[in-house]
Structure 1
Amino acid sequence: MTSLAHQPPQIAKANGIEICYEIFGDANAEPLLLIMGLGAQMIHWDDDFCRQLAARGFRVIRFDNRDIGKSQRMTGGKRLTPVELLKLRFLRIPVAAPYKLIDMARDTVGLMDTLGIRSAHLVGASMGGMIAQEVAISFPERVRSLTSIMSTTGNPKVPPPTREAAAMLMAPPPATKEEYFERFAKTWKILRVGSFPEDEAADRGRAERTYERGLNPAGVGRQLRAVLASGSRKERLRNVKVPTLVIHGTVDPLVRPEGGKDTAASIPGAKLLMIDGMGHALPIPMWPQIIDAIDKHAHGAAAKAA
């Protein structure tokens, strides 16, 4: 096999905004879009993770969501307050937001349009899973298969994050570069749950790369508002016909395991893979299991459609 093509990051006009994307793998392979989570740049889909997926016969496309990394920064939306969260939780008063998950789903479809991709396999992590679900609901003809990882339906009955994970989400942004690096390591230690020496050794390099690409704390706040303002997809997920795989960790502190179970229960025929000891992260030792599952699911869906 020839070495897999890798196109460096480029900027596309999608849904009227600029989206930064990067492609791994053969131009004629099955297109597979990786959609990242809240406040996470596309490089959180690790380079080697992308290469390993590409080696399974996919044209892997990762991108920065709006308001993060090198994609366009939006405006508006104040920092979320605990009062708003309490109103949402107990009074069901929705949070105001400059944009919602449906807009981010349109960004995804817009990127596919620009790249000339009629339909693709979608793999979304956390908020990315919510965006992928929204694409499958609203633009079903664009989705070959759906893999929703450590995500949820927006159903308010799903248990909230652990206190520690919630505090991390609401913490004010770090003031200095060093503080950012410290916060990065601490955040991933909370999210990964347990000891992952390989990942911990890589954290500093990951933090530096993220920092160099540019931070946008206000954008993270707007993304969080988008999630909270979008409400529950549970009812609408019943109409999803695309082959769906739900992957979730058994010890996820941020999107609790019930979130994954609720997603699988809401989508007809969805398969559920619970990964023992996995938190809210994609730790290196768990890649083989995750990549195998995505590969088998997407290629299985492609074979059925053929």
Structure 2
Amino acid sequence: MKKLCFTATTFILVVCLLFACGCTGPSATPETAVKPAESTFQPVSYEDTPVQYSDVNGVSLAYREFGTENSKPLLMIIGWGGDMDGWDTTFIGLLAEKYHVYIYDHRDMGQSTETDAPLTIPMLADDAEGLIKALGYDSMYIYGMSMGTAVLQQILVDQPEMVQKAVLSSASVNANLPETEKLHGELEEALKDPDTPEGVRKETAAILEWDGVYDSLSGITNDVMFITGTADDVTPQSVAVDMAGQIDGSWLVRFKGIPHAGSSYAPEEYAGIVITFLEMDESPA
């Protein structure tokens, strides 16, 4: 099965063509025209959504949840130096219209437990897996951003049965590639800076020490989508293209002119393609 490769402009063009093809009936008169319903969408409010806590692997992980109880679960894994409130509220709100969305703080970050031990990417993957189970699920859709894609890659390799579908946004094999020189420099500077918070310092060391799971990508059979921005100079699109090529049947979406962690810059477009991917039945006819 060939890799599905989209661009944002292509996706929009296809949608436009579908609407054009569907408009073949007689034109509605002013008396019979139906006005489109006004959107009731509202971005989520972190201030109005209580923080909850779950005991996982000897720590307490803080999380918030959005959406209705009977919708499918979607776990969001935040990137380097971020806490759960770093997600764009429009992006999360749009996803929560379709799914039961969980955002959370990694250990040593935000409102989760601070520890004395160093961090590793496999440890953070174990935390995510433990949180899924603690919330009462066997598996979830999972969206990872930046460092969150490293955590998600580790889950896909170690516990693939826990991932219904995976979205990797601004992904990289690891931080030590020639293509990720800027990222590597930023991580090194963070370690040298005495003002870097301890939790961020621990995440920084974990990223630098993680060798990645590149050699195992070809064995992944889960449905996977990569999203990248053509203006991303932290985890350049060439890295995502290479990674997508390793996973048979994976999707690759490139948004023109969007930088690193693009859901903050184009939340509607990112939410749209994520929902399209998650809703798509890719089973053979």
With structure 1 as the length reference, what TM-score do the two structures score? 0.72
Residues 110-129 of structure 1 aligned to structure 2 (within 5 Å):
110-129=130-149
What's the Cα RMSD here? 2.7
Deviation at 1:262, TM superposition (A): 2.4
Q: Note if contact 1:161-1:253 (Cα within 8 Å) is conserved in structure 2.
A: no
Equivalent-residue separation in structure 2 for 1:283 and 1:136 (angstroms): 22
Question: Which of 223, 242, 250 is residue 230 of structure 2 equivalent to?
Answer: 250
Inter-partner Cα distance in structure 2 for 1:140 and 1:228: 24
Aligned to 2:169: 149
Give, in whole Å, the separation in 2 of the partners of 1:284 and 1:230: 26
Does structure 1 residue 107 correspond to structure 2 residue 127?
Answer: yes
Query: What TM-score does the superposition give when structure 2 sets the normalisation length?
Result: 0.76
Structure-1 separation of matches of 2:40 and 2:270: 25
CA distance in 2, matches of 1:234, 1:23: 32
Q: Which residue of 2 aligns with 1:66?
A: 107
Q: Call closer, same or farther: CA 1:272–1:63 in 2, change over 3 Å.
A: same
Q: Partner residue of 2:75?
A: 33
Aligned length: 241
Cα distance change, pair 156–168 in 1 and its aligned pair in 2 (3 A): closer
Distance 1:234 1:53 in 2: 29
Partner of 1:211: none
Distance 1:270 1:158, change over 3 A: farther
In the alignment, which of 85, 88, 97 is matched to residue 43 of structure 1? 85
More helix by share: 1
Q: CA deviation at 1:283?
A: 5.4
248 and 237 in structure 1: CA distance in 2 versus 1, 3 angstrom threshold: same
CA distance in structure 1 between the partners assigned to 2:266 and 2:279 by the alignment: 20
> Partner residue of 1:11?
53
Alignment check: 8 A CA contact 2:218 2:247 kept: yes
**Is 2:220 aligned against 1:240?**
yes
1:166 lines up with 2:146 in the alignment: no
Partners of 2:77 and 2:143 in 1: how far apart? 6
Distance 1:45 1:228, change over 3 A: same
- Answer yes or no: is the 8 Å Cα contact 1:33–1:122 preserved in 2: yes
Match of residue 63 from structure 2: 21
Q: Tell me the amino acid that sits aligned with residue 291 of structure 1.
A: A
- 1:129-208 counterparts in 2 under 5 A? 129-154=149-174, 156-162=176-182, 166-167=185-186, 170-171=189-190
Partner of 2:31: none
CA distance in 2, matches of 1:14, 1:7: 21
Q: Is the 8 A contact 2:94 2:268 kept in 1?
A: no
Distance in 2 separating the partners of 1:108 and 1:278: 28
Question: Are the aligned partners of 2:74 and 2:141 in contact in 1 as well (CA < 8 Å)?
Answer: yes
Q: Which amino acid aligns with 1:23?
A: E
Could you tell me how far 1:3 is from its partner in structure 2?
Answer: 9.2
Residue by residue over 1:176-203, the C-alpha shift from the partner in whole angstroms, topping out at 9 and shown as x without a partner, is xxxxxxxxxxxxxxxxxxxxxxxxxxxx
Question: Which region of structure 1 is more displaced relative to structure 2, 150-159 or 260-269?
Answer: 150-159
Instruction: Evaluate the alpha carbon distance shift between residue 162 and residue 9 of structure 1 in structure 2; reply closer, same or farther with a 3 A threshold.
Output: same
CA shift for structure 1 position 285: 5.0
Deviation at 1:38, TM superposition (A): 0.7
Q: Is 1:75 the equivalent of 2:94?
A: no
In the TM superposition, what is the alpha-carbon distance from 1:8 to its structure 2 partner?
1.8
2:142·2:163 contact (CA, 8 Å) conserved in 1?
A: yes
**Distance in 2 separating the partners of 1:155 and 1:168:** 9
Structure 1 residue matching 2:68: 3-state secondary structure: coil
Does the aligned pair in 2 maintain the 1:161–1:256 contact within 8 Å?
A: no
- Identify the residue that residue 87 of structure 1 maps to in structure 2: none
Structure 1 match to 2:8: none
Q: Which has the larger radius of gyration?
A: 2
Counterpart contact for 1:147–1:247, Cα < 8 Å: yes
Distance 2:251 2:58 in 1: 35
What is the DSSP-based 3-state SS (H/G/I as helix, E as strand, rest coil) of the residue aligned with 1:160?
Answer: helix
Task: Return the alpha-carbon distance in structure 1 between the equivalents of residues 144 and 264 of structure 2.
Answer: 17
**Residue pair 2:232, 2:259 contacting (<8 A) in 1 also:** yes
| Offset of residue 2 of structure 1 | 10
CA shift for structure 1 position 168: 7.4
Identity of aligned residues (%): 26
Distance in 2 between residues matched to 1:11 and 1:145, nearest whole Å: 25
Matched AA of 2:67? G
Distance 1:2 1:13 in 2: 35
SS in 1 for 2:262: coil
Deviations, residues 216-271 of structure 1 (Å, cap 9, x unaligned): 71111111211222202111111111100000111112112222122212222111
